[in-house]
Structure 1
Amino acid sequence: MNTIKPLYILLIYLFTIPGCGPQEQQSQQGEVTTSAVERTIKEERKTILFFGNSLTAGYGIDEDEAFPGLIQNKIDSLDLPYKVINGGLSGETSASGINRLEWFLEEEPSIFVLELGGNDGLRGIAVEETRKNLETMIEMVRKKYPDTRILLAGMQIPPNMGREYAANFELMYKEIAVEKNVKLIPFLLEGVGGVRGLNLPDGIHPTEEGHRIVAETVWEYLEPMIN
């Protein structure tokens, strides 16, 4: 009888101290399970890689306010299993992009958004050279990840280098999209390019409001690829 009484007292103690009762234990187990599920979901999210120049990087504004960050917000609000990686770098040309791409491909992108060439156009680099570089990057992605979906962001430039050059530059993106069978955003800065109030004082880089419009343009073409 003397051995039963201490055991009885111990059981009462265990079920009365905080966190030791059946309900508390069940709650704690539930929290652990939920955390594990959330962690698994995050780890299993597919990657959308935005690879570009200062437009992608969000020059002059917070990176979270640039269109890739806004796309991530959109994805999160819809509870879609994707994470966005911003691979933008100010001043990037199509040639320098080739040298940088291999490192970013370690992220194993499910969707690859290529936004380069604008700086080439502003510098008057031969259109054929830019075309070659963009096609090389598309081939690099496909060689490493044949199932990756590719979205090419088209660009237009002012006629500073001559109207013929500007026309050939714009046409280049359309031709690449057809020849390489990739999806195309005809003009990334649709409704933003050339609009003073939607760009920073340099007249080239969008403001936060401008990036919101760009994000909507990108989403129009990106959403069908996600779904």
Structure 2
Amino acid sequence: MLRILLASLMFSCAAPALAEAGAAANSPTILVFGDSLSAGHGLANGQAWPSLLTQRLQAGKSPYSVVNASISGETSAGGRTRLPAALERTRPAVVVIALGANDGLRGLPVKQLRENLVAMARACKAQKARVLLVGMRLPPNYGAAYTEEFDHAFAMVAKQEKLPLLPFLLEPVASDRANFQPDGLHPVAAAQPKILDHVWPALKPLLKQR
């Protein structure tokens, strides 16, 4: 299932470059910066986990708003290129970086992935934004050496840059086919709350550091 899921990410159609969800003037912003798994590929508006995050924040009367700048098919290199403009536009208090899966699919050098993640983390910190790094995992058919190096890349960056790390975005849903759309690739709407519940414990402490 994980192999099929990952194989789709770089072929998904692009999402809007910057989709605002529940943004309010002068409210602190959470910038979600990922690929199709965060862009909500195949879902209706308001169903992806970043949109559910907005609903949770509003229900809890949190001052935070969410901007989802995720794009399907995005690599860490692409994210690194477009991040400065997103930071300038949104001035986020918190950034969720959820990129890297497409690097692995294309067999790109893990060293390049690490460098891009470090650059993005530092760009965020230079803007005084707190960062949550979200990792991905590759199936074993990519070779034990590469998959192990890929998996460790996120932990290495998190340690080096002193970032909180969520090792695998899809951990609570990846093993069950029922959690995925008919393409067998992207999580269904019913799985999105599970993903949010997985992200929330890692994200929540960052919201208390204002």
> Per the shorter chain, which TM-score range?
0.7 to 0.9
* Equivalent pair of 1:98/1:133 in contact (CA under 8 Å): yes
* Equivalent pair of 1:151/1:182 in contact (CA under 8 Å): yes
Residue 128 (structure 1) aligns with: 111
User: SS in structure 1 opposite 2:69?
Assistant: strand
TM-score of the pair, normalised by structure 2? 0.84
1:64-213 alignment to 2 at 5 Å? 64-106=46-88, 107-143=90-126, 145=127, 147-213=128-194
* Equivalent pair of 2:172/2:198 in contact (CA under 8 Å): no
> Superposition RMSD on alpha carbons, in Å?
1.4
Residue 54 (structure 1) aligns with: 36
Residue 10 (structure 2) aligns with: none
Amino acid at match of 2:189: E
User: Is the helix fraction higher in 1 or 2?
Assistant: 1
Residue 29 (structure 1) aligns with: none
* Equivalent pair of 2:37/2:186 in contact (CA under 8 Å): yes
Kindly indicate whether structure 1 or structure 2 has the higher relative contact order, using CA contacts under 8 Å at least 6 residues apart.
2
* Equivalent pair of 1:153/1:185 in contact (CA under 8 Å): yes
Which residues of structure 1 form unaligned runs of 5+?
1-40
TM-score of the pair, normalised by structure 1? 0.78
Identity of aligned residues (%): 39
Amino acid at match of 2:115: K
CA shift digits 1:24-59 (9 cap, x unpaired): xxxxxxxxxxxxxxxxx9423100000011111011
* Equivalent pair of 2:33/2:97 in contact (CA under 8 Å): yes
Residue 9 (structure 2) aligns with: none
Paired residues, number: 185
